Amino acid sequence: MVNLYIALLHYPVCNKDGRVVTTSVTNMDIHDISRTARTYGVQRFYIVTPVMKQRELVDKILDHWRKGYGASYNPLRKEAFEIVDVKESLDAVIEDVSGREERKIQVVVTSAGPRGECLRFDEFRDKLRDGSDSYLIVFGTGWGIAEEVMTRADFLLESIRGPGAYNHLPVRAAVAVTLDRLAGIH
């Protein structure tokens, strides 16, 4: 998946009441999503937050596992963390991907609820294999990606459904299922 990038957005996202907020970066998200992204061959995993103190904290955690004691204690964690980066905005992520890619970058947003026309997983899998464009999938924290990001995306990915009406996957699970559907060996 040389043409696949993912981003975990902490701003702008919605809270429980639909207001636009900034969520906190969590240590578990960094660990879980980096290991999942590495397993499925994602090129880069970007953590996006406008809060400088939080970006500094992420850098400190990354340094511990990439260069510090963690790197020798757990080399597999080091390998996962090598693809992680932290940026202040989605624009900064797109700029960074542009610097690495000759291909056109398509931004794909995700949502737990179905709304409007969607890119189906099987279509997306074919597009990735085709290889003519590169793709950045954006996952929201909190109660989901804010409208201003949803509307400027190139594609809205089909939402993940189980057999029943309950549909509240943690973002860490949503990332795993999405990547497995797109890049897993079935």
Among the listed residues 59, 88, 154, 180, the single contact to its own copies using CB under 8 A: 180
Instruction: Please state, in angstroms and as integers, the Cα–Cα distance from residue 130 to each residue in 79, 123, 172, 181, following that order.
Output: 27, 11, 27, 16
* Angstrom distance (rounded) from CA 177 to CA 100: 26
Torsions phi, psi of 184, nearest 5?
Answer: -70, 155
Residue number with CB closer to its own copies (16 or 151): 16
Nearer to its own copies, 24 or 167 (CB): 167
Angle between helices 121-130 and 171-183 (to 10 degrees): 60
Q: Among the candidate windows 87-95, 130-138, 146-154, 158-166, which touches its own copies by CB under 8 A? A: 158-166
Which of 22, 35, 66, 94 contacts its own copies by CB under 8 A? 35
Instruction: Please tell me whether residue 51 binds its own copies under the rule CB under 8 A.
Output: no
Can you tell me the distance from the alpha carbon of 107 to that of 175, in angstroms, rounded to the nearest whole number?
15
Q: What CA–CA distance (Å, rounded) separates 138 from 4? A: 11
By CB under 8 A, residue 184 contacts its own copies: yes
Positions 63 through 82 that interact with its own copies (CB under 8 A): 76, 79-80
Query: Looking at this protein, which amino acid is placed at residue 120?
Result: R
- What is the β-pairing status of strands 20-21 and 13-14? antiparallel
Pick one of 15, 24, 98, 167: the residue that binds its own copies (CB under 8 A): 167
Q: According to CB under 8 A, which one of 69, 132, 151, 166 is a site residue for its own copies? A: 166
Among 8, 25, 38, 111, binds its own copies (CB under 8 A): 38
> In angstroms, what is the minimal distance from the CB of 74 to its own copies?
8
Burial class (CB in 10 A: 0-12, 13-18, 19+), 120: exposed
Interaction pattern, residues 81-120, with its own copies; x per rule: CB under 8 A: ----------------------------------------
